[in-house]
Amino acid sequence: MRKVNLIPLTAVVIYLLVTPLAFGQGVEEQIKALQAEITQAQLKGDISALEKFYADDAMIIHSDGKRSTKAQEFANIKAGSQKYEPSPVLEQTIHIYGGTAIVNWVASTKVTVGGKPFTGNTTGTRVWVKRKGNWKNVLYQVTRVAPANQ
C-alpha cells in the first residue's frame, strides 16, 4: 500500500482557502485608503488630486437630485460653488465583487452648494471599478437622511 505524505497536500489546501480571503482583505484596505484620500482631496478642493480618482465617465448625483459629470463637478469646485467641511463618517460598509467595489456610508455632513449651507446626516455610495490596474470612481451618489420623526 502506498503512503501519501499529507503535509504538502494540507499546505496546498490551506493556501487555496486562505489566499482569496487575504486578497479580499487587501482590496478592502485599498478601498478604505482611497475613500480617505478622495475625501481629503474634496475637503481641499484639490482638482489635481481628484483627477486621479474619478473615471472620465463618472456620474455624480447630489442630495438635491442634480447630476453632474466629472468635468461639471470639477468646474463647480474650481468656481467655489461647492465647498466641503470635515464630516465624520458614522458607519461604512465595503463590498468587493471582483474588480468592482461598492462603498456605502452614513456621515454627519457639512457642505455648501451654490451658497446654500447644509448640515445633517447623509448616506452615500461610491462605486469603484478597477481599470488598467487602477481603481477609479465611476459613481458618487449622496442622499439626505430624513429626520427620524418623518
Hey, which residues does 68 pair with through a beta bridge? 60
Per residue, the 3-state secondary structure of the chain, as one string, reads CCCCCHHHHHHHHHHHHHHHHHHHHHHHHHHHHHHHHHHHHHHHCCHHHHHHHEEEEEEEECCCCCEEEHHHHHHHHHHCCEEECCCCEEEEEEEEECCEEEEEEEEEEEEEECCEEEEEEEEEEEEEEEECCEEEEEEEEEEECCCCCC
pLDDT over 90, % of the chain: 57
Asked if residue 50 has pLDDT above 70, the reply is: yes
Query: Cβ(111)–Cβ(120) under 8 Å?
Result: no
Pick the CATH number of 6-144 from 3.10.450.50, 3.40.50.1000, 3.40.50.10470, 2.60.120.200: 3.10.450.50
Residue 83's nearest CA partner among 52, 53, 114 is 114
77-133 pLDDT, tens digit per residue, is 888 888 888 888 999 999 999 999 999 999 998 888 778 888 889 999 999 999 999
Nine cell digits for residue 32: 478604505
Q: What type of residue is 145? A: V
Q: Predicted confidence band at 7 (pLDDT cuts at 50, 70, 90)? A: low
pLDDT at 12: 45
Asked if residue 28 has pLDDT above 70, the reply is: yes
- Going by DSSP bridges, is the β-strand pair 54-61/134-144 parallel, antiparallel, or unpaired? parallel
